Amino acid sequence: MQQYPNQIAPSQPFDIFYFLRNPTDSTTYYIRAVIYDVRSGTVLLTANLTQLPTNSRLFSATVQAPADSSGIGRNIVAIASVYTDAGYTTKSTDYEEQEQYLLVRSIAPNFSGGAVGIDYQELRSMMREEVLRGVRALPKPEVTKMPDMPFEAIFGAIGALQREINRIPKEGADLSSVSQSLAHIHNLIASQSEPEKVELAPIEEALNGLAYDIAQLNDRLEQTETRSRAFIEQTIKSAAADLEKGLEAKFTKTIESQQLSIPVMRTVERPVAPTPTPLNIHHLMS
């Protein structure tokens, strides 16, 4: 099937043809073509096709193209039909109609001269040459040499900076073990039966001193390096463990003798600091 119309000029002669595709058919046929204006459907011309002497299955006729009154092109179609009689009254049912699409429009002269039409290959060649000529005429850009960069020094500085960043503590010291030890002490005290008239003032003083020491250690943890923090954390754990063992031993002895004697701790001179809030352990005495 024809997909694109052939272009012809107004009043230009052109050929209409029809080909019988069955080579074994020896019947005599008659071919007629009707030319229509595609837009309006008007019949422009009717032509009877003649059988070629060199090929009995090929029929053709030469006609003249109509005018293009619009000036922008005119689409026409030539539809050829097969008849079984010379009067063109009965169409054959063995052959389909064949159509030819044409575009009637004025054609510019060929740049190469002589013939009608545009030599597109020559036009492309001319455009290519002009573009190449224009590219060659362009000034060549100056190549600017890239300045020497101290890449080794830059990468070294970046590496040192990365190492310093890695040294920054990502998290604070973990005091969960200290809290667990204190909670264990609290539970141990709560699990003991209440002794008679046990004096807990020394224990309260000791716990207040421990709270003061923990507060001081917390302040130091915020200003020291990671290794110092680990050392202080271990010190706190050891102090809590010792206190736990001491309290457990003293309570065991008190339960056995019904008395608790804790020597007064030696007062150690400490730097002037805000007095810590005493721990409230009155619920232990209830």
Query: Which pair of structure tokens corresponds to residue 231?
Result: 């050392």
Task: Please answer whether residues 8 and 104 qualify as being in contact, where contact means their C-beta atoms are separated by less than 8 angstroms.
Answer: yes
Within a domain: residue 157?
A: no
Within a domain: residue 118?
A: no
Beta bridge partners of 271: none
Domain span at 274: 176-285
Between CA 44 and CA 64 the distance in angstroms is 11
pLDDT at 178: 65
Within a domain: residue 276?
A: yes
Tens digits of residue pLDDT in 1-40: 566 788 889 989 999 999 999 999 989 999 999 999 998 9
Task: Between 279 and 37, name the one with better pLDDT.
Answer: 37
Of 104, 119, 144, which one is at a domain's C-terminal end?
104
pLDDT at 260: 46
Within a domain: residue 1?
A: no
Query: Given a cut of 90, is residue 182 above it in pLDDT?
Result: no
Query: Which pair of structure tokens corresponds to residue 4?
Result: 């694109």
Between CA 51 and CA 61 the distance in angstroms is 9
43-52 and 6-8 beta bridge pairing: unpaired
Residue 126: helix, strand or coil by DSSP?
helix
Tens digits of residue pLDDT in 68-85: 887 788 999 999 999 999
Q: For residue 40, which amino acid is it?
A: S
Within a domain: residue 80?
A: yes
Tell me which residue has tokens 């224009």.
134
Q: How many CB atoms lie within 10 A of CB 14?
A: 17
Tell me which residue has tokens 């229509």.
36
Q: How many domains does the chain have?
A: 2
Task: Please answer whether residues 194 and 134 qualify as being in contact, where contact means their C-beta atoms are separated by less than 8 angstroms.
Answer: no
Residue 115: DSSP 8-state: S
Within a domain: residue 109?
A: no
Within a domain: residue 126?
A: no
Within a domain: residue 132?
A: no
Q: What is the CATH number of the domain that holds 37?
A: 2.60.40.10
Half-sphere exposure of 60 (CA within 13 A, CB side): 11
Of 87, 104, 121, which one is at a domain's C-terminal end?
104
Strands annotated E in the chain: 6-8, 13-19, 30-37, 43-52, 55-64, 74-83, 98-104
Of 66, 83, 104, which one is at a domain's C-terminal end?
104
